[in-house]
Amino acid sequence: MDKRELKAIIEALLFTWGDPLELKDIASILEITEEEVKELLDEMISEFDYNRRGIRIMKINKSYQLSTRPEHYEWIKKLSNPTYTKSLSNAALETLSIIAYRQPIIKSEIEAIRGVKCDKAIETLLERGLITELGRLEKVGRPILYGTTDLFLKTFGLESLDQLPPIEEFNNNLDNLELEK
């Protein structure tokens, strides 16, 4: 099969599946190596970007998914029925940030960092699928360990946690805010 046909099949698979599709699954379906599939996907991502297509291929860890371009949001929004989506509270965003940078982490550690209870924030983040329970810590009380999900990565447009900005950037920004006051 030629490269063009393989790319067309990959595009059809991603479109049909809808959810992120793992590299190994695509390779298995096409009966080629993961390296060959990755090379094809990298080319497709570049082609979609170069041609400014209305859709793009997102990489999320070792999975790929078709999505619309964020810059087209205003037009896409006009197509859908407006529904009110409540944004995350500052407490939930703070809690999510702590979990993202410190995972796996238990609730008492999050509360120690924030200085307040975080039950409601954790409940909200779990409901939204942005965090998950990773297991339990082997100590008294067996507290739950929390970490982020692939939906977290997808929501924030990240391939992996390695793309989170270095925590030092936030400290520098805070120092600059202090100087401006």
Q: Indicate the Cα dihedral angle 130, 134, 138, 140, nearest 10°.
A: 30
What are the sequence ranges of the domains in the chain? Answer: 3-74, 90-180
Q: Does domain 90-180 have CATH number 1.10.10.10?
A: yes
Q: Interhelix angle for 3-17 vs 23-30, to 10°?
A: 130
3-74 matches 90-180 in fold? yes
pLDDT tens sequence across 137-180: 998 889 999 999 999 999 888 999 999 988 877 665 545 544 44
pLDDT tens sequence across 89-99: 999 999 999 99
**Mean pLDDT, rounded, for 17-34:** 95
pLDDT for 133? 96
CATH number of the domain at 3-74, please?
A: 1.10.10.10
Neighbours of 149 (CB within 10 A): 15
Percentage of residues in the chain with pLDDT exceeding 90?
73
pLDDT for 141? 87
Question: What b/e readout covers 43-71, taking b as 16+ CB neighbours within 10 angstroms?
Answer: ebeeebeeeeeeebbbbbeebbbbeeeee
